[in-house]
């Protein structure tokens, strides 16, 4: 490659945000004794090397869900404990064909693709039977002075998980709840199911965080995003949405609330859904 695909930014004394050239954000969370890396991106080589320059602590890897932009880099960490909800293993395996990731990167980098000079040799190997350890609701990673709690938040995928760092008051919702949550694929929950899941998580974590981080482009969103997402679901169920067509990789979804080209809602709120009209109830 001609340019580094990954870059790092210190967020606070415990968290480093690692960004890909395509705009995804991973998080390295460090305690006094250990660390956790959240997600591994698209399987472009170099992530492992960067992480190992940021921390000298022993670390484990947590994959929030099986989509290609979060899980395909795991082969670089085969000597580590790598956790993912096993419900998403079939999804991970379906993402492995080279054309999937190459098409995604081309689409996201556009004309800049040639500037990076990415070749076939810059991708990690495909490992269909990767040894994922089970990531389940209620798991706690004790890093020393800082803990990472795991909560199930299905909807975007069957096995989507979110991370809470209670000592820092930070909830990382990733793709589970963000400015343009994808809820239109065949594997996604209906809007009604997703609404109830969001209500359940909101009630479980009430009062335990005052910051929310996501995994695409902008790092921090409004702390009321869960309540806002419930309102979005209610508006879809009530027919109070703009329903802007949003085709993505051959699938059609509909954007619920008016937003700009960077998915910033016009009314200043954070939560938004791209949903499937055939999967509302």
Q: 87-103, pLDDT tens digit by residue?
A: 999 999 999 999 998 99
Distance CA 43, CA 259 (A): 30
Distance CA 274, CA 256 (A): 6
158 plus 182 within the same structural domain: no
190 plus 155 within the same structural domain: no
Residues of the chain with pLDDT under 50: none
Q: Give the pLDDT confidence score for residue 225 in this predicted structure.
A: 98
163 plus 273 within the same structural domain: no
39 plus 160 within the same structural domain: yes
Q: Give the pLDDT confidence score for residue 1 in this predicted structure.
A: 86
Q: Give the pLDDT confidence score for residue 84 in this predicted structure.
A: 99
Q: Give the pLDDT confidence score for residue 248 in this predicted structure.
A: 79
- The 3-state DSSP class for residue 77 equals helix
The residues, ordered by sequence, that sit 6+ positions from 59 with a Cβ below 8 Å of its Cβ are 28, 34, 35, 36, 37, 51, 80
Please report whether residue 268 resides in a domain. yes
Please report whether residue 215 resides in a domain. no
Nearest to 23 by CA among 107, 120, 93: 107
197 plus 141 within the same structural domain: no
144 plus 200 within the same structural domain: no
Q: Give the chain's domain count.
A: 2
CATH of the domain at 104: 3.60.15.10
DSSP string, 244-276: EEEEETTEEEEE-S-B-TT--BTTS----EEE-
155 plus 145 within the same structural domain: yes
163 plus 237 within the same structural domain: no
Q: Give the pLDDT confidence score for residue 106 in this predicted structure.
A: 93
35 plus 122 within the same structural domain: yes
Q: pLDDT digit string (tens) for 189-201?
A: 999 999 999 999 9
33 plus 76 within the same structural domain: yes
Task: List phi, psi (to 5°) of 280.
Answer: -95, -50
- Domain enclosing residue 65, as ranges: 1-176
Nearest to 223 by CA among 173, 162, 160: 173
């Amino acid at each position: 490659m001609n340019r580094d695909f990954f870059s790092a930014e210190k967020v606070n004394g415990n968290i480093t945000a690692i960004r890909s050239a395509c705009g995804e954000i991973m998080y390295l969370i460090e305690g006094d004794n250990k660390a956790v890396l959240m997600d591994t991106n698209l399987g472009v080589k170099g992530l492992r090397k960067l992480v190992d320059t940021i921390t000298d602590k022993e670390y484990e890897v947590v994959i929030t869900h099986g989509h290609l932009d979060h899980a395909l880099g795991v082969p670089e960490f085969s000597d580590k404990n790598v956790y993912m909800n096993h419900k998403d293993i079939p999804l991970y395996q379906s993402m492995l064909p080279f054309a999937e990731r190459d098409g995604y990167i081309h689409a996201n980098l556009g004309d800049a693709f040639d500037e990076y000079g990415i070749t076939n040799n810059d991708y990690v190997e495909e490992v269909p039977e990767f040894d994922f350890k089970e990531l389940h609701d209620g798991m706690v990673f004790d890093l020393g002075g800082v803990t990472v709690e795991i909560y199930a938040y299905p909807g975007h995928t069957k096995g989507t998980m979110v991370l809470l760092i209670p000592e820092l008051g930070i909830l990382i919702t990733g793709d589970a709840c963000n400015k343009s949550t994808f809820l239109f694929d065949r594997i996604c929950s209906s809007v009604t199911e997703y609404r109830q899941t969001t209500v359940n998580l909101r009630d479980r974590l009430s009062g335990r965080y005052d910051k929310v981080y996501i995994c695409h482009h902008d790092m921090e969103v409004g702390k009321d995003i869960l309540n806002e997402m419930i309102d979005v679901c209610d508006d879809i169920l009530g027919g109070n949405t703009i329903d802007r067509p949003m085709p993505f990789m051959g699938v059609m979804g509909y954007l619920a609330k008016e937003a700009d080209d960077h998915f910033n809602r016009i009314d200043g709120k954070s939560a938004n859904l791209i949903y499937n009209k055939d999967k509302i109830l």
